[in-house]
Chains A and B, each alone.
Chain A
Amino acid sequence: MVSRRSRTAYLVIAPAVLVLAVTSLYPAVASLVLSLFNWNWGARFDFVGLRNYADLFNSAEFWQVLYQTFLFAVVATALELVLGVALAVVVDRLKFGQSLIRTLLLTPLMVSGIIVALMSKIVLDPMLGIVNYFLTGLGLPPSPFFGTTATAMSTVIMVDAWWQTAFVFIIALAGLQSLPQEPIEAARVDGAGPVQTFFRVKLPMLRTVLLTVLIFRAIDTLKVFDIIFGTTGGGPQIATEVMQTLAYRKAFSFLQMSEAMTVMVVFSLIVLAICLVYMRLEARFEED
C-alpha cells in the first residue's frame, strides 16, 4: 500500500523532476565540470584542475566585482525594505482609495528591467535629462549620474529602488493587514503611541514575512543584470561591474567559457550559503 502510494507521488512529480533535471541539474553539474578545464570555445579542451579558481582568486578584478556586487545588493535591499515598509505603513492608514493607490504603486513591477534601464537613461541623461533640469531649477548642482565612477553605483542602486520597492511594499501591506488585532488593541489600551505600537508590536509579528521579503530581495539584487547591462554596461571602467555582468562579458564577449563558469560556480556557492542560512532562520522563526 505504502509503495503504491509513493509510486503515485513519484509519478505526479516526475514531469517536474525531468524538466528541472534538464534545466538546472545538468547545467549546474556541467558548469562545475567545465570550470576544471581550459576551454575557450575552440578545439583545446585541457584539464587544469583548480587553476581557474586560483587565477580567479588572484585577480584584483574579481575581488572588486565581488565587493561591488555586495555593495549594490546590501544598499539596494536595505533601501527597498525601509522604503517599502514605510510606504506600507502609510498606505495602511488610508481609508479611501487604498486599492487604487496600491495598484498605481505596483506599476514598476510590471516593467521589464531593460526598459527600466533605458527609461532611466532618458530621464537621468546628464545633458538632456529632465531630472537634472529639475535639480538645477531647484538651485542644486546637476549630477552626471551614470557618467562617472563616483556616481554610477549610487545611480543604479537608485534605479533598482524605483523598480523593486513596490515588491516589498505590497507584501508588507498584506502582512500588516493580516495581523491579529488583539495585541495591537492591548498596546493601545496600555497607552502606546502609533510609533511604539509599530516597533514593539507590529514589526515583531511581521518578522517571518519580512525575512522572506529580505531573502528574495537579497538574492535578486545579488543577481542583478538587466538594469546594469542596460545603463552602464558595468562601467565607467568597471565601477558598476557585478558578478552576472562579469560572467556575461567573459562568456559572450571573450568566449572565455571556463572562466565564466568558474565565476558562476563561486558565486553560486555564495548564494547557496545565503539560502542555507535563510532556511535555518526560517525554521527557527517558525518554532517560536
Chain B
Amino acid sequence: MRHASRDQLERSLAYLVSLAAILLTLFPIVWLLTVSLKTQRDAFAMPPKLLFEPIADHFLGLLERPGFVEAFMNSVAVTGLGVAIAITTAIFAAYGIHRFRFRGKRLFGVWLLLAYMLPEFLFIIPMYVLYQRVGLYDTHIGLALVYQAHSLPFAVWLIRSFFKETPSELDDAARIDGCGHLKTLRHVYIPLGAPGIAATAILTAIWIWNELTIALSLTFSDAQTITVAVASFRGYTSINWGQMSAASIVAIAPMLLFAVIAQRYIVKGLTLGSLKG
C-alpha cells in the first residue's frame, strides 16, 4: 500500500517535470509565432500583450522582399538534389561495406568518420577558391555537392545499419535464384530497408534545409538558401522583429510539418545510428 502511493507520487512528479520541459521547449517557438503576427507596437509593448489582433502584414511583406521567395525555392532545390545524391551514392556504398570484405575497408570507414567530424571551414575555404575558378560558386549543384562531406557519411552509416537488420537467408535465397548483386540490392535490400532509407532521407533533408555555415560561404544570390535569407535579418533585428519572425516561421514550418508526419522515422533514424553503431 505504502509502495503503491509512493509510486504514484513519483509518477505525478514525472508528469510535472515533463510538462515543465515541454513548456520551456515550446515557449520560444510559440513566442516567435506571436511576434510574427503582431504589429510593431504590440510586439514591443511592455507588459507583453497576450491578447492582440493578429495581422498577416509581415508574412505578406516577405513576398515582396527581394529574393525571399527565390531563397525558399533554392532551398527546396538544393535539399532535393543533396538528398538524391547522398541516398543513391550511400545505398551502393552501404551495400559494399555490408556485403564485402575488401582491402581498405577500415580506412574507408575512418575517412567517412573524419569527413563527418572535421570542421566545415576546413572544407569550405578551399571549395570557395575552387568554385570561384570553375563556376560552381553560387549554384544549386555546387552547394548540394559540398553538403556530401557531411551527408554522405551519415547516410552510409545509417543505411548500413538498416541493411544489417536484413535477414541473411533472404540474401542467400536471392543468390541461389541466380540474382546478381544489382538484383539482390533491388529486390532484397532496398525493399526491406525502405523504412530505414526513408528515415535517412528525412534526416538528411532536415540537416540540409537547416544548414547555414556552408550556404553562407558558397552562395551569394542565385542559390542563396532560406537560412541565409533569414540570417540577413540579423543586422537590424531591433527594428524589424515582425518580418524577421515571419521569415523564421516560414523557414521552420516545412520541417515541423515533417516532424509531425514522419516522427516515427525520425526517431528510428536518430536512435538506430547510435544504438547499433
Contact = CB atoms under 8 A, between A and B. Distances in A.
A15 B32 contact: no
A213 to B, nearest CB: 6
Interface in A175-231: 175, 178, 194, 208-209, 212-213, 216, 219, 222-223, 225-226, 229-230
A27 B275 contact: no
A241 to B, nearest CB: 14
Interface residues of B, number: 100
B118 A13 contact: no
A104 B26 contact: yes
A151 B14 CA distance: 32
Interface in A1-48: 5-6, 8-10, 12-13, 15-17, 19-20, 22-28, 30-31, 34
Nearest to A39: B129
Contact of A171 (B25, B213, B270): B270
For chain B, what secondary structure do more than half of its interface residues adopt (helix, strand, loop), or is it mixed?
helix
A110 B255 contact: yes
Given A24-B118, A119-B29, A252-B217, A260 B125 contact: yes
Contacts of A113: 210, 212
Contacts of B28: 119-120, 123, 162
Interface in A93-116: 93-95, 101-115
Nearest to A261: B125
B265 to A, nearest CB: 12
Contacts of B121: 244, 247-248, 251, 260, 264
Contacts of A6: 100-103
B255 A34 contact: no
Contacts, number: 284
B73 interface: no
For chain A, what secondary structure do more than half of its interface residues adopt (helix, strand, loop), or is it mixed?
helix
B11 interface: yes
Question: Of residues B24, B105, B117, B263, which shows the largest number of chain A Cβ atoms within 10 Å of its Cβ?
Answer: B117
A135 interface: no
A111 B95 contact: no
B90 interface: yes
Contacts of A20: 111-112, 115, 148-149, 152-153
Contacts of B100: 5-6, 8-9, 12
Nearest to A15: B89
A12 B181 contact: yes
Given A118-B233, A162-B28, A268-B119, 9 more contacts: A9-B99, A13-B92, A19-B85, A31-B126, A93-B10, A106-B263, A208-B277, A230-B231, A261-B122
Interface of B: 10-11, 14-15, 17-18, 21-22, 24-29, 31-32, 35, 43-44, 46-48, 85, 88-90, 92-93, 95-97, 99-103, 105, 108, 110-115, 117-130, 145-146, 148-149, 152-153, 156, 181, 206, 209-213, 216-217, 227, 230-231, 233-234, 237-238, 241, 244-245, 248, 251-252, 255-256, 258-260, 263, 266-267, 270-271, 274-275, 277
10 contacts: A12-B100, A13-B93, A24-B115, A24-B123, A101-B22, A103-B260, A118-B248, A225-B213, A226-B213, A251-B125
> Lowest 4 A-B CB distances belong to which pairs?
A112-B210, A9-B100, A30-B126, A174-B271
